[in-house]
Amino acid sequence: MPHSEEWRVHLYLFEDEGTTKARVVLETGDATLTGHGVAHRNPADTDVPEIGDELAAGRAMRDLSEQLLGAAERDIEGMGAAATGPDPYQVTGWPM
């Protein structure tokens, strides 16, 4: 059965005095998930805003990813699927 979806992702970056904060928002149409990430620059380091952006954004997306995988895991378990083994990304019969 063919299936097509469009999910929207918005990434917001804020920098203030060596600290970069990121917020990534995923809108699926049915749910909204928000991931957060932070990067702190050592005052002795060269000020390169792109590095803070990359670190904070990556951490926010990793947070969002973990939330999304957790939601999928709960949905799969809600369908009665049993745990399959030691792989942390394959906790049910569906490969993660």
Q: How far apart are the first and last CA of the chain?
A: 21
Q: Which of 15-29, 55-69, 72-86 has the lowest mean pLDDT?
A: 72-86
Q: Domains of the chain by range and CATH?
A: 8-77 (3.30.160.240)
* Predicted model pTM: 0.80
According to DSSP, residue 83 is labeled P
pLDDT over 70 at 92, yes or no: no
Q: Which region holds residue 61: left if phi is over 0, alpha if psi is between -120 and 50, else beta?
A: alpha
According to DSSP, residue 86 is labeled S
